[in-house]
Structure 1
Amino acid sequence: MDYATIMVHLDASRHMHQRLHLAVQLAVEYQATLIGLLALGEPEPRSTRYLMDGDRYLASYKEWQRHAGEMARQAFLGATDGLVIPTEWRTTEWATAATVQGDAHAADLIVLGQRDPADNEAFDDPHFVESVVLQCGRPALVVPYAGAFPKVGKTILVAWNGSREAARAIHDALPFLRRAESVDVVSWGKPDVSSDLWLSPARYAVEWLSRHRVQAQLHDIETDVGNDTGEMLLSRAADLGSDLIVMGAYGHGRVRELVLGGVTRTILASMTVPVLLSH
């Protein structure tokens, strides 16, 4: 199993080049087709319907979109010029989270950027990353807006709580895991609380990985009421020198009624290294 097609989301964000560079590196490593997906968002409906100068606003938005889209296209062409891998450029005039979810079905892995609240030029939906991760049916590599990540996957932390999502995540991350120099499975639970029957022990993850020629070290952390498991995972990743976290994404709902699990919410808000999320 390998990633045959990698898709990277491009917009007008100041961090676009960071995730584009990483997606190019991964596509070269896996000899995968690289798809650049331009998705800038859509104009504010209230501005076009109710403002007296709605037409002027719409014309201005279209001009901004044309300029930003051309800048992103030139960045994609420049980053892939001379590569010996197939590339494809995709664009939608007024993209939404739903259109990105649909386009993601053409890929084995989608590369997204963590939302930067201070970046007004980025895709303007505050729940964009979360909704794509939960609805696209593909693993998503989310790249933090802070820091530099030229390569990922040498030292991987696998977050394991025995759930369906955790099992799905290590399966979807297998191409990364097979190439890693070290893999650490970090399991957590509350002391003196029995596990639900549908949750499997961490040794299952280690044994499954071993059968796929991935040797992993097991670490247990205990969490009490009031402890933030997401923060504990990020702290353990720093202690282990991990450059990639693999974990299941927990949550449900469409964009307007999106409900995220606490660990997923913390990781998406505070990530310090790229995170491969699978739902």
Structure 2
Amino acid sequence: MDYATVMVHLDASRRVHQRLHLAVQVAVEFQATLIGLLALGEPEPRSIRYLMDGDRYLASYNEWQSRVGEVARHAFLGATDELVIPTEWRAPEWATAATVQGEAHAADLIILGQHDPADADAFADPHLVESVVLQCGRPALVVPYAGAFPQVGKTILVAWNGSREAARAIHDALPFLRRADSVDVVSWGKSELSSDLWLSPARYAVEWLARHRVQAQLHDFEAAGGNDTGQMLLSRAADLGSDLIVMGAYGHGRMRELVLGGATRTILASMTVPVLLSH
């Protein structure tokens, strides 16, 4: 199993070049087709309908989208011009989070950027990452908006709590795990969960990885709650020198309402290294 197609979401954010650089690196590593997906959101419907100058607002928005789209396209072409892998550029008009979810089905891995609340030019929907991760049916590699990441996937931390989402995540991350120099499985749980038969012990993860020729070290710790778990995982990643966290994404989304698990919410808000999330 390998990633045959990698898709990267591009917008007008300050960190889009960092995301693009990492996407190129990953696509080259797996000799995968790289798809650049431009998604900037859509104009505010109320502004078009109720403002006296709604037509002017719409024209201004379309002009901005066209300008940003050209900058992103040239950045994508410049970053991939000399690559020997296939590339593709997609720029659906007024692409929303739902558009990204649908387009992601054309890829094996989608690369997104963490929401930066201080970046006014980033994708307009602050819940883009959460909605895509929970709804697209593909693993998502989320790149933090702070920090530099010259490489990813050499030292991997796998977050394991025995759940379906955790099992899905290590399966979806197997191409990275097979190429890693070191893999650490970090397990946590509460004592009252020990009788839950649907939660499997951490040794299952280590044994499963070994069958796929991945040698992993096991680390156990106790976690008091969701937010505490997220901070502990980030702390362990720093201690172990991890350049990638692999974890299941917990939660559900209906319409515009997103309900995330505590650890997932903490990681998405405070991530310090790229995180591969799978739901």
TM-score when normalising by structure 1: 0.98
SS in 2 for 1:14: coil
Aligned position for 1:140: 140
Is this contact kept in 1: 2:104–2:138, CA < 8 A?
yes
Structure 2 distance, partners of 1:265, 1:196, is: 24
Structure 1 distance, partners of 2:273, 2:26, is: 16
- Relative to structure 1, is the Cα distance of residues 96 and 197 closer, same or farther in structure 2, using a 3 angstrom cutoff? same
- Relative to structure 1, is the Cα distance of residues 86 and 163 closer, same or farther in structure 2, using a 3 angstrom cutoff? same
SS in 1 for 2:28: helix
Aligned position for 1:176: 176
Aligned position for 1:190: 190
State how 1:86-165 maps to structure 2 within 5 Å: 86-165=86-165
SS in 2 for 1:259: strand
State how 1:211-250 maps to structure 2 within 5 Å: 211-224=211-224, 228-250=228-250
1:68 aligned to 2:68?
yes
SS in 1 for 2:159: strand
Structure 2 distance, partners of 1:159, 1:195, is: 20
Q: How many residues align?
A: 279
Q: Which amino acid aligns with 2:17?
A: H
How far is 1:253 from its partner? 1.6
Is this contact kept in 2: 1:183–1:216, CA < 8 A?
yes
- Relative to structure 1, is the Cα distance of residues 225 and 115 closer, same or farther in structure 2, using a 3 angstrom cutoff? closer
Aligned position for 2:42: 42
Q: Which amino acid aligns with 1:269?
A: A
- Relative to structure 1, is the Cα distance of residues 62 and 226 closer, same or farther in structure 2, using a 3 angstrom cutoff? closer
Aligned position for 2:82: 82
How far is 1:195 from its partner? 3.9
Is this contact kept in 2: 1:158–1:183, CA < 8 A?
yes
Aligned position for 2:15: 15
Q: Deviations over 1:21-70 (max 9, x none)?
A: 00001111110000000001100111101000111111100000000000
SS in 2 for 1:12: coil
Q: Deviations over 1:146-196 (max 9, x none)?
A: 000121001000000000000000000000000000000000012465241
Structure 2 distance, partners of 1:274, 1:226, is: 20
Structure 1 distance, partners of 2:262, 2:225, is: 13
Which runs of at least 4 in structure 1 moved beyond 3 Å after TM superposition? none
How far is 1:256 from its partner? 1.2
Is this contact kept in 2: 1:191–1:223, CA < 8 A?
no
Q: Which amino acid aligns with 1:245?
A: I
Structure 1 distance, partners of 2:95, 2:118, is: 21
TM-score when normalising by structure 2: 0.98
Structure 2 portions without partners, runs of 5+: none
Cα RMSD (Å) of the superposition? 1.1
SS in 2 for 1:66: helix
SS in 1 for 2:245: strand
Q: Which amino acid aligns with 2:219?
A: H
Is this contact kept in 2: 1:187–1:218, CA < 8 A?
yes
Structure 2 distance, partners of 1:129, 1:254, is: 15
How many percent identity over aligned positions? 87
Q: Which amino acid aligns with 1:95?
A: A
Structure 2 distance, partners of 1:69, 1:226, is: 39
SS in 1 for 2:221: strand
How far is 1:257 from its partner? 1.5
